[in-house]
Each structure stands twice: as C-alpha cells, then as structure tokens.
C-alpha cells in the first residue's frame, strides 16, 4: 500500500517536473523572442531616423515658392467664388435641392405641388429653391396667378 502511494507520488513529481521543464522552455523561448524584437526595434528606429534625415534634406532642397502656389490659387480664385456665391455653396449642399434639380433635368419640367409632396416640404420651399436655381441660370420658373406653378430646365 505504501509502495503504491510512493509510486503515485513519484509519477506526480515526474509529471510536475516535466511540466515545469516545458514552462521554463516556453519562458526561455519568449525571452528570446523579446530580445529579437528589441533588436529589430533598434534597427527600425535607426532606419526611421535615416529616412527622416533624408526627408529633411529633400525638403531643404525644395524651393519655398512651391508651397505658396496652391495657397495663392486658393486665395485668388476659390475664396472670392465662395464669398460671392455663399448661397450657392450652401444650397448646393442640400440634398433636397439636388433631388429637385435632378427631377427637373430628368423630366424637363416639374409641378411645384408634385415636388412638395415628393420631397415632403412646403410649396413655398420649392418656390424658393426654384427662384434660387433660376437666379443661377439653371431653370426657368413658370408662374400662374402670381405663384410659382412649375419649374422647367433652361438648358
């Protein structure tokens, strides 16, 4: 009985020693991986520093005026257009105005009532959008009894 117990204890001890050996081998492997990652990090850091230095040298060679060109274009052409046509920029970003214009282009002419139901807005809003599109030369607004009845494309 004692011998059986001793044998079982020895087997358990052997099993634990094997597991401990595997754990220490895994730890050694992980330590090696960490060491290699550290070395790779150092190499990549050195490469990064070299690339940054090369980039600085290239930027030093570039003339300073090249960066001003796009700023000049923006300042001289884009900004004045946006100031003069702020309403156009604002209205063109509205998806309902775009939907109205698309419908006009597709059909040639649309009724204000029909479009107000379709876009789920008041007739007055469709009239305002129509006047806006007419002011920008895209459509022709047709009146009936002092109110806008329909909007047709003008091109």
Residue 93 DSSP SS3: coil
A 10 A CB-CB count for 101 gives 20
**What is the reported pTM?**
0.43
Q: CA gyration radius for the chain?
A: 38
pLDDT tens string 20-62: 999 999 999 999 999 999 999 999 999 989 988 988 888 777 6
Residue-level pLDDT at 46: 92
pLDDT at position 136: 77
Would you state the structure tokens that stand for residue 18, as one six-digit string? Answer: 């094997």
Residue with tokens 């970003």: 93
| pLDDT, tens digit only, all 155 positions of the chain | 567 888 889 999 999 999 999 999 999 999 999 999 999 999 999 998 998 898 888 877 766 655 576 677 767 776 676 666 656 655 555 678 888 888 888 899 999 999 999 989 998 898 888 888 888 778 889 988 888 889 998 76
12 backbone dihedrals φ, ψ, rounded to 5°: -65, -40
**Residue 29: what pLDDT?**
93
């Amino acid at each position: 009985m004692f011998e059986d117990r001793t044998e079982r204890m020895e087997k358990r001890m052997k099993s634990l020693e094997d597991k401990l050996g595997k754990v220490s081998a895994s730890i050694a492997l992980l330590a090696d991986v960490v060491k290699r990652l550290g070395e790779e990090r150092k190499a990549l850091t050195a490469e990064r520093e070299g690339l940054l230095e090369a980039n600085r040298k290239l930027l030093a060679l570039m003339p300073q005026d090249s960066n001003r060109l796009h700023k000049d274009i923006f300042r001289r052409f884009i900004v004045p257009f946006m100031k003069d046509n702020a309403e156009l920029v604002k209205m063109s970003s509205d998806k309902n105005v775009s939907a109205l214009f698309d419908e006009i282009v597709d059909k040639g002419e649309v009724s204000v009532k029909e479009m107000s139901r379709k876009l789920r807005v008041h007739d007055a809003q469709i009239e305002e959008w129509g006047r806006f599109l007419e002011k920008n030369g895209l459509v022709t607004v047709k009146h009936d009894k002092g109110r806008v009845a329909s909007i047709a494309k003008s091109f």
